[in-house]
């Protein structure tokens, strides 16, 4: 057996079945169930949480297909140069965009106040904000960030997007990494979509948040480690930000004693904004498998210089 999944638990059966439906019939093992001998033949691994021990136990390994968009979990692992690593691309934009839109709308209309009022049987009208007058900045302009920017574009006054190079997206104000100050200036809503790499660690902190419009809002669907949580907490306590929706946090699961759980205006969700749906995983994996076999360039190859 040459192919195995790793770290996807009970989703293994679902994946094997879905791959069967697109014509991939060969046996696919579950690494956790393979002994030392069987692991020696594994050439392809699909999944998450691949550790050094796993890499060392698969000497024939030639390709790792990550099951998600991010590969930060592989950063501490030494991977032989001959092993290609690919990630799932062009799959998460719609889900993550819906999450970001939901969070922005829930903030402008103060959905929390609506549900609380109902729970308390209180009929207390208030002036809601309007999304259409706001300026929204998308931090990260890869395929997910660009998709999110396009979902916001018809609904808001202005969409900005910041990428390593200045993004060229129609109807969206693009900024390069060097132009970060202008990107943040007077921004109402910041949507963070950055991967975690050594370069992006705590890329959003007090300096960035202080440039936003006072009372603005922050949404993080990328990686928790990109946000300096102490700076976020200080900004909310001071009123510089009126709240945040955090689908990702630096330590996951969020420890039960974290002040973020109860900070006014903060909504925590358990890393659900970009689910790895079987159709997307199967589409990328089966396409990459035929490219791998034919020796053709694969989709979503990780560039370790960039870190994603
Ligand atoms: C991913 C994720 O990397 O779910 O896809 O965060």
At 223-270, the pLDDT tens digits run: 999 999 999 999 999 999 999 999 999 999 999 999 999 999 999 999
% of the chain with per-residue pLDDT over 70: 100
Residues whose beta carbon lies within 6 Å of some atom of ligand 1: 68-70, 274, 276
Q: Are strands 266-268 and 241-246 parallel, antiparallel or unpaired?
A: parallel
Distance 275 CA to ligand 1 centre (A): 7
Cα dihedral 64/65/70/72 (nearest 10):
-10
Question: What whole-number distance in Å separates Cα of residue 260 and Cα of residue 249?
Answer: 10
Q: Atom 5 of ligand 1 has which residue's CA nearest to it?
A: 68
Active site residue 271: yes
The phi and psi torsions of 8 (rounded to 5 degrees) equal -105, 5
Instruction: Please identify which of the residues 153, 166, 202, 271 carries the catalytic annotation.
Output: 271
Average pLDDT of span 78-82:
96
3-90+277-294 with 93-268: one CATH topology?
yes
Instruction: Please identify which of the residues 87, 91, 147, 223 carries the catalytic annotation.
Output: 223
Contacts of 214 (CB under 8 A, 6+ apart): 239, 240
Active site residue 293: no
- 3-90+277-294: CATH, from 3.20.20.70, 3.40.50.150, 3.10.180.10, 3.40.50.720: 3.40.50.720
DSSP 8-state code for residue 297: P
State which of 225, 276, 277, 281 you would mutate to test the pocket of ligand 1, scoring each by most atoms of that ligand within 8 A of its C-beta.
Answer: 276
pLDDT of residue 279 exceeding 90, the answer is: no
- Closest by CA position to 139, among listed 69, 236, 220: 220
Distance 88 CA to ligand 1 centre (A): 9
In this predicted structure, what is the pLDDT of residue 278? 85
| Domain ranges within the chain, ordered by starting residue | 3-90+277-294, 93-268
Q: Atom 2 of ligand 1 has which residue's CA nearest to it?
A: 68
The phi and psi torsions of 159 (rounded to 5 degrees) equal -115, 130
pLDDT of residue 219 exceeding 90, the answer is: yes
- Closest by CA position to 28, among listed 16, 11, 18, 10: 16
Distance 85 CA to ligand 1 centre (A): 15
Q: Please name the fold of domain 93-268.
A: Rossmann fold (3.40.50)
35-55 pLDDT, tens per residue?
999 999 999 999 999 999 999
In this predicted structure, what is the pLDDT of residue 38? 98
């Amino acid at each position: 057996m040459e192919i195995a999944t790793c770290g996807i638990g009970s989703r293994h059966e679902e994946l094997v079945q879905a791959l069967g439906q697109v014509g991939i019939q060969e046996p696919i093992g579950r690494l956790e169930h393979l002994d030392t001998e069987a692991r020696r033949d594994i050439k392809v691994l699909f999944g998450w949480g691949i550790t050094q021990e796993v890499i060392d136990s698969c000497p024939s390994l030639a390709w790792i297909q990550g099951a998600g968009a991010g590969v930060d979990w592989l950063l501490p692992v030494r991977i032989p140069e001959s092993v290609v690593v690919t990630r799932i691309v062009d799959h998460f934009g719609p889900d993550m965009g819906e999450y970001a839109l939901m969070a922005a709308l829930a903030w402008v209309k103060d959905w929390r106040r609506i549900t609380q009022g109902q729970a308390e049987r209180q009929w207390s009208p208030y002036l809601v904000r309007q999304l259409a007058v706001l300026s929204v900045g998308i931090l990260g302009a890869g395929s997910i960030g660009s998709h999110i920017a396009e979902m916001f574009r018809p609904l808001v006054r202005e969409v900005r997007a910041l990428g390593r190079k200045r993004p060229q997206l129609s109807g969206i104000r693009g900024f390069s990494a060097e132009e970060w100050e202008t990107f943040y200036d007077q921004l109402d809503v910041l949507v963070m979509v950055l991967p975690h790499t050594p370069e992006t660690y705590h890329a959003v902190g007090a300096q960035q948040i202080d440039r936003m419009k006072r009372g603005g809002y922050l949404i993080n669907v990328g990686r928790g480690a990109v946000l300096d949580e102490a700076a976020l907490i200080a900004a909310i306590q001071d009123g510089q930000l009126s709240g945040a929706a955090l689908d990702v946090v630096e330590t996951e699961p969020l420890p039960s004693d974290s002040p973020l759980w109860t900070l006014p205006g903060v909504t925590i969700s358990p890393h659900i904004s970009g689910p790895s749906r079987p159709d997307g995983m199967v589409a990328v994996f089966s396409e990459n498998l035929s490219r791998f076999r034919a020796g053709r360039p694969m989709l979503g190859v990780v560039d370790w210089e960039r870190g994603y």
